[in-house]
Structure formats: structure tokens, C-alpha cells
Amino acid sequence: MNYNIKNILKISLPLLLGVFLVWYSLSKVSIEDILVYLQKSNYLWIAFGLFLGLLSHLSRAYRWRFQLEPMGYNIKFGNSVMAVFATYLINYTIPRAGEVARASILTTYEGVPFEKGFGTIIAERIADLIVMFGIILITLFLQFDFIYSFFTEKFNPLKILLALVILVLLAIAFFRFIKKSESKFAIKIKNFIKGLVEGALSVFKMKKKWAFIFHTLFIWAMYLLMFYVTSLAIEDLEGISTGAILIGFISASFSIAATNGGIGSYPLAVYAAFSIFGIAQEPSIAFGWIMWASQTLMIIIFGGLSLIYLPIYNRKKSKR
């Protein structure tokens, strides 16, 4: 496939999917209904959720410095914060372009070579991925009985067991093939797995590894608390179970990778998770939109200000 066509598809497909999902979610619950829920919401809880989200972003910016210090770069916290917010904002336009922009900002204003800055971003994404898998495993452990009973009610237990056995056998066959194969695809998979392992182990080689681990756990704790706290703003979600929050959070987190910043997919992912627990469609989708919109508004404001203020901030610094 032509390189230019490939790039156009990479940008346009997530955007088109996002537009379709926005239309689909609004066909389920009208804008008027969402506005009614918004008017009835407790804004103190929404504001508290935004504050927790802000703390997670500041923690991410501070954590980044631990990765760069061993390489001899002591970057300014202000530049780190603005680079993080710029990343989130740019990712709303072109998927994964934010990470490239973040490393470029570091090169421009802190003199960190692009490849080194980008390498630290990949390493931190690996750390985040490991924590996300940890949350999934904890959720499966805590909600095993509920998840098991839900699937056995919907599907034949023997068919589920057979499907699991087939998946395990396919996984074993796949990894054996990857291990022996020298194809481009196999090499990419092997490099990805190698990167995961190296990224995870590199954390323990840091001078401030425990601080890095603390901030990583803190970031995800804030994400989870932000999701729960914002749900308290919706009266119809009062008394929502821990299981619904955990599964809703996991589903919503994966939706962000499906479209640019989760546009359109986020409310539907929340509804899909909440519906398992018998939560009504209207408050589920309305909550998804309120949650997504409040966080997106924060990113637009702080990301936009960051892109504007970065050259001003660094011009002031260079004059000192």
C-alpha cells in the first residue's frame, strides 16, 4: 500500500469511526436528555474529578524526570508539564502524534536528543500497560463469581470452556510460530515483547525506582478515583457497585485507543460495561459523555495554553 494512503487512513479512519460512534450514541440518548442529566448533576463532584485528573497529569510530568535524570538531563518541571498536556491535546487530532510532539518539545527546549526522549515515553507507556493489566487481573479476581455467572447465563459453559481451550492452543501455536519465524511481522512481535520486558526491568535500574513506581501507581489510582468520583455527580448512579466502576473504567480506558481521545467510543464503552450490571442506558451514556467532555475540556484548555506559553516560558528562562 502507498505510504501516503496508509498515513491518510491512519488519521482518517479513527476520526470517521469517532464521528459514527458519536452519531450512534446520540441515537440512543438524545442531546436533550444528556443536557437534562448535565443540569441535574452535582458540579462539585465533577470539579473534584477534574482535580484528580489534573493531579494524575502533574504526577506523570514529574515521573518523567526520573527517567531522564540517569541520562544526565535535569529538565524543568514546567516544560515537562506543558509537554504532557500538549501530548494529550495533539492526540485528539492525529493518533500517537502527541508522543512524537512531546519528545520534540523536549529536544527544542531542553536539548534532549529526540530518540532518548521518545525512548523514555515508550518505557513509561510499558509501565502504564503493566499497571492496566494489573487492574484487569484484580477486577477478574474480585468479580470472578459475577463475571462467571454472567457468561454462563448468556452462553453454554461447555462452549465457553471449549473456546478457552481453543484460544490457549492458538496462543501456544502463535508464539511457537513467532519464535521460529524470521518474517517482518514475527520480528515486530518479538521486538515488541522484548521491549515490554526490557521496559519493565529498566524501572528497577533507576536511581529513584521506588519514586517512579509510586507515581505510576498514583497516576492510575487518580484515574480510577476520577472515574468513581464523577459517577457520584449523577443521581441515577447512586450506590453503583465497585464491580461496575472497575469494569466500566477498564472498558472506557480501552475505548480511548479506538478513536482519537475516545471521542464517541467512550460513552458507548461505559454503557456496554454498566449494562452488564443492569444499569439503565440513559444515565450510563449521559455519564460517559459528562466524564469524557469534562476531561476533554480540561485537556483543550491546559493543552492549548501549554502550546502558547511554552516559547514564552523558555524565552524568559533563557534571559536569566
Whole-number Å distance between alpha carbons of 209 and 202: 9
Task: Encode pLDDT of 233-247 as tens digits.
Answer: 998 898 888 889 999
Write the pLDDT tens digit of every residue in 66-106: 888 877 888 899 999 999 999 988 888 776 777 888 888 88
Q: CA-CA distance, 119 to 201, in Å (whole number)?
A: 14
pLDDT at 36 (0 to 100): 85
pTM for the whole structure: 0.82
* pLDDT at 123 (0 to 100): 84
Q: How far apart are CA 278 and CA 23, in angstroms?
A: 24
Q: Return the sign of the alpha-carbon dihedral for residues 229, 232, 234, 237.
A: positive
How many CA atoms does the CB half-sphere of 117 hold within 13 Å? Answer: 25
